[in-house]
Structure 1
Amino acid sequence: MTRTSDIEVIAHRGFSALHPESTRAAYRAAIELARRTRHPVELEADVHFSADDQLVVLHDLGLRRTGGRPDLAETLTVAQLKKVDFGRWKVSVATPEQRELITFAELLEMVVEARDEGVPVGLAVETKHPTRRGTEVDRRALQQLAELGWTEPGSPVRMISFNPDAVTLVGTLAPGLRRSLLVEKELGVWSDGHLPDGVDTVGVDHRLARRNLDWVDRLLSRGHHLHLWTVNDADEMAYWLDRGATGLTTDHPDRALAVVHGGGHVL
């Protein structure tokens, strides 16, 4: 089993089991969990452009699922997006922090503030492809991270994407930054256990990994790191830690931390 200190717990769109995903409330709850437990927690965040050229934190490009509107995020300004209630799909009466969109800049401010207070929190920034503006989203995210000095070795940030070209681009522009390739429906060209040059971590759907345990063994035998998503069952978490996984992406980061630290109770 992987050592406790080496296991990364990634809060999927924040503490999204507790609050509406990708909102200030969800990220604040994950930060407070890291503050309380003193175990590092990464905040997973998907980024898109708004109509006024800002990066905003949303999983879906479309607003229908979480915002109840037919619009695309890239067609609305931040001011317009902040008027959308992104909490209504999960809670009947949302607080301002549960309903209001958060920009990438605002999320970075939250992480900076928490880290200044000694909270062991980081970021896993996911860029979505294909997108109308292509790799501009990756370049803009890196620009904002560079302004904080967070593109160098030791950065609390990891860049992640399903697009291997985007992962490679990040390696070219910010070689000191940690990167992960995400894999969902099939292993494809990565079935032999190799990863793109300079990438040592793969984040894979735990169901796909279950169907390809020989691949898991090959991957680990090559010295790569295995992260699983989105794992919400405690027994499934324990199974993958026993097999040598070093990262768990979950809607229930409290549950993951309880498993990591050898107990079945929420911390």
Structure 2
Amino acid sequence: MGNIEYTNILRYVIDILLVTYVIYKLLMLIRGTRAVQLLKGILVVVITWLLSKWFELTTLYWLMSQAFTFGMLALVIIFQPELRRALEQLGRGKLFSRTYSNQGEEVVQRMVQEVGKSVTYMAKRRIGALIVIERETGLNDYVETGIQINGRVTSELLINIFIPNTPLHDGAVIIRKDTVLAAGCYLPLTENPTISKELGTRHRAAIGMSEVSDGLSIVVSEETGQVSYASNGEVKRGLTEEQLKEMLLEQLTPPAKNKSMGSRWQWGRKHG
């Protein structure tokens, strides 16, 4: 009897660990997509349903129950891109191979330096460019619209991508951590009617991306050579290289590190 009970416990433990591992990998799969925000919304609905049941709020509980009744069909429709991607990766045997690493301080500084250098070069020569730096909200949906690069961020690579009349100069470059994921990506255009008529497609795409994600968008105008920066649906124009770098460092580093990195950046400017 003792051996049978031990075997059953071991089987249950293995079962729980396997299910936990699968759920973890599925969460990692959707981590780089907008499905994360949808899951947060679903969590709010579930909590509302539980609270309405607990406090006996009959009408609200009935509405939430109806939502769950048609929830499975809605989930299939809402998560269709993610389900398709998961099945494709499963077919290629890559479902459980995706990993993420933490973004270190040196990685951020080096990436910002390279981006700033390339933007300054292109601004002086009026080479149009659109660069998006991913943060918490995954941009895989937009990466898939372009040509995969998966190369380390360097000023030379970014400049060569945006040289006029080359295959990849149209569209946006998307950067994750220290890697250029893709070039020639299509971004959503802003529908804000208050945007200045002077702003062209690149600026509207940069603002549109900042409206649907927390990504940072950088634009170089080919008409004026002006450098612009879009975040949270707002755009700042006419930035210098130093201003752009400081803004990027402020957004890409934790608050605790901003001060130390900022002072180190100022020291580098004085002694470099």
Q: Normalised by the shorter chain, which TM-score bucket?
A: under 0.3
Give the number of the structure whose residues are more often strand, by fraction. 1
Give the number of the structure whose residues are more often helix, by fraction. 2
Greater relative CO (CA pairs within 8 A, separation 6+): 1
Which of these two proteins has the greater Rg computed from alpha carbons? 2
